[in-house]
Protein backbone atom coordinates (compact mmCIF):
# COMPACT_ATOMS: atom_id res chain seq x y z
CA UNK A 1 0.00 0.00 0.00
CA UNK A 2 0.98 3.58 -0.45
CA UNK A 3 3.15 4.61 2.50
CA UNK A 4 4.38 1.12 3.41
CA UNK A 5 7.98 0.82 4.56
CA UNK A 6 10.00 -1.73 2.58
CA UNK A 7 13.15 -3.65 3.40
CA UNK A 8 14.81 -4.47 0.08
CA UNK A 9 17.66 -6.94 -0.42
CA UNK A 10 19.69 -5.18 -3.11
CA UNK A 11 22.06 -8.14 -3.50
CA UNK A 12 19.28 -10.00 -5.36
CA UNK A 13 19.44 -9.11 -9.05
CA UNK A 14 17.52 -11.99 -10.63
CA UNK A 15 13.87 -13.02 -10.70
CA UNK A 16 12.54 -15.75 -8.43
CA UNK A 17 8.97 -16.48 -9.47
CA UNK A 18 6.13 -14.71 -7.66
CA UNK A 19 8.23 -12.55 -5.34
CA UNK A 20 7.96 -8.79 -4.97
CA UNK A 21 10.72 -6.74 -6.55
CA UNK A 22 11.84 -3.16 -6.92
CA UNK A 23 12.31 -2.65 -10.66
CA UNK A 24 13.64 0.25 -12.67
CA UNK A 25 12.88 0.87 -16.32
CA UNK A 26 13.23 4.00 -18.39
CA UNK A 27 13.92 6.24 -15.35
CA UNK A 28 10.85 4.88 -13.51
CA UNK A 29 10.74 2.82 -10.32
CA UNK A 30 8.13 0.11 -9.73
CA UNK A 31 7.33 -2.26 -6.87
CA UNK A 32 5.61 -5.28 -8.38
CA UNK A 33 5.09 -8.98 -7.89
CA UNK A 34 6.84 -10.67 -10.82
CA UNK A 35 5.70 -13.87 -12.50
CA UNK A 36 8.31 -15.33 -14.85
CA UNK A 37 6.99 -17.21 -17.86
CA UNK A 38 8.65 -20.10 -19.66
CA UNK A 39 9.07 -18.09 -22.90
CA UNK A 40 11.17 -15.46 -21.10
CA UNK A 41 8.42 -12.89 -20.79
CA UNK A 42 7.28 -11.51 -17.44
CA UNK A 43 3.98 -10.56 -15.91
CA UNK A 44 4.14 -7.62 -13.51
CA UNK A 45 1.37 -7.83 -10.94
CA UNK A 46 0.33 -5.11 -8.53
CA UNK A 47 -1.12 -6.19 -5.21
CA UNK A 48 -3.31 -3.10 -5.60
CA UNK A 49 -6.29 -4.27 -7.67
CA UNK A 50 -6.68 -0.79 -9.19
CA UNK A 51 -3.72 -1.63 -11.43
CA UNK A 52 -4.15 -4.52 -13.89
CA UNK A 53 -1.28 -6.97 -14.54
CA UNK A 54 1.14 -5.96 -17.28
CA UNK A 55 2.73 -8.40 -19.70
CA UNK A 56 6.34 -7.65 -20.59
CA UNK A 57 7.89 -9.29 -23.65
CA UNK A 58 11.26 -11.03 -23.39
CA UNK A 59 12.89 -8.18 -25.32
CA UNK A 60 11.44 -5.59 -22.95
CA UNK A 61 12.16 -7.80 -19.92
CA UNK A 62 15.83 -7.69 -20.86
CA UNK A 63 15.65 -3.90 -20.40
CA UNK A 64 14.33 -4.13 -16.82
CA UNK A 65 16.80 -3.64 -14.00
CA UNK A 66 16.20 -5.59 -10.81
CA UNK A 67 17.10 -3.19 -7.99
CA UNK A 68 16.29 -5.80 -5.31
CA UNK A 69 13.70 -8.09 -3.77
CA UNK A 70 11.33 -6.97 -1.04
CA UNK A 71 12.01 -9.18 1.99
CA UNK A 72 9.84 -7.35 4.54
CA UNK A 73 7.29 -4.57 4.69
CA UNK A 74 5.75 -2.57 7.50
CA UNK A 75 2.43 -0.83 7.48
CA UNK A 76 1.28 2.08 9.59
CA UNK A 77 -2.44 2.25 10.19
Helix (H, G, I), strand (E, B) or coil at 12: coil
Given a cut of 90, whether residue 76 has pLDDT beyond it is no
pTM, 2 dp: 0.88
How confident is the model over 6-60, as pLDDT tens digits? 999 999 999 987 899 999 998 999 999 999 999 989 999 998 889 999 999 999 9
Cβ-based burial of 45 (10 A; exposed 0-12, middle 13-18, buried ≥19): middle
pLDDT band for position 65 (50/70/90)?
very high
Amino acid sequence: RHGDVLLVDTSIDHIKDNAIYVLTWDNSVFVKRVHKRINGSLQLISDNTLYPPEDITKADADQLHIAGRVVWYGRFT
